[in-house]
Amino acid sequence: MRKIFVCALLAAALCMAGCCALAAGVTLRTLTPFADVDFAAQAYMDIVTAWEGSSGNLVEDYSGLIDEAWLAQMQELLASGEADLLIVPVGSGLTGEQVVSAQELAQAAPQLGAREMRAMAEADGSVLLTPVRLNWEALYVNQDVLAAAGLSAPKTLDELIAVCTALAQRGVTPIANALCEWSEIALDCAALMGAPAEQFGEADSRTGAQQTLAALCAVGAFGADPWNARDEEMEALFLSGGAAMRFDADTLALQVPAERAAQVIVVNAPAADGQARTAVVGTPSVGLTISRACWNDQARREAALSLAEALLCGDAAKQIVCPAADALGESVYALTVGATDCTGLLYDRDPEGFDTWAESVIAALMGQA
């Protein structure tokens, strides 16, 4: 849709005598997933429109659902040297001959804050994308529920246990997760909390996960009966402000009611060793890169770097990561921008053995209850 609009605008502009400034601008061709039902579609278009107005350049946009047809179109534009800025998932078929690496981008444009994450590596080990979005799991916090008890968001496991103890004594559900249903996210976060990020998925982190959950269960952190609770009910309890915290994924941020977005924040798993975790539990979603053809053309390169800065930095860029503009959006953006890597998920590390292990952990916790 935007492509048609831009072409019509260009055609009209060429017929006008006063079009010198427009004609001197650069037209960038962009490919992103921010279209149709994606929550960031409008924010992305607003950023692009504002950038066009301030830069004198234009964008010919090819945003759409990332499927085989879209990836084929991407390859065609790359082969013809027409693609400029791309936001795509890892494994989209890109090569270092087609696009610049995350390291090159970081060195050439420090203002972008480009990061080279191991989790973003392609099959050949190269890191071609700097992260734009991550699929993450973390601890959601209803700040007003904590404030009513004179508490604040915990930063260490000891603080989390103390907060849960105080809330349970007041009859408030500290952490709204059902442990016998959909416990995977709680186990993932507990594994990062109980061991250093580099040990995630290994034996030490699995042991740490069980010990962490045991310590939380011992103080009633998951309510009176997390073994028979339905997770749908626990999720609703948190979203309504009836519970203080919940372990969940990035998708929960899209479900927080607008009237509660100012009260909810998300924080990384508070660690047992007291050291802040800079890696997040999860996997990459999409990352940004610039084509070689664009990089080798000075005018296109400068324009692409300028647009990349508009998409990655500043207040408007936060809506690409989370639609909420209140405390929730700020915290999601901080979690994402502050992440140095993604740990993956326990299930992905061991798909054949995860279920058996998870069931044994829950059974052991139930036996201790």
Cβ–Cβ contacts within 10 Å for residue 1, how many? 9
- In angstroms, the Cα distances linking 163 to 159, 209, 328, 335 are 6, 19, 20, 21
Q: What average pLDDT score do residues 286-305 get?
A: 98
Q: What pLDDT digit, counting tens, does each position of 96-138 carry? A: 999 999 999 999 999 999 999 999 999 999 999 999 999 999 9
pLDDT band at residue 269, thresholds of 50, 70 and 90? confident
pLDDT value at residue 149: 96
Residues 207-239: tens digit of each pLDDT: 999 999 999 999 999 998 999 999 999 999 999
Indicate if the pLDDT at residue 3 is higher than 80.
Answer: no
Residue 14: per-residue pLDDT: 31
Mean pLDDT of the chain: 91
The pLDDT value recorded for residue 248 is 98
Domains and CATH numbers, the chain: 2-133+284-321 (3.40.190.10), 135-282+326-368 (3.40.190.10)
What percent of the chain is modeled with pLDDT above 90?
A: 87
Cβ count near 139 (within 10 Å) = 21
pLDDT grade, residue 369 (50/70/90)? low
Over pLDDT 70: what percentage of the chain? Answer: 93
| 40 Cα distance to chain centroid | 13
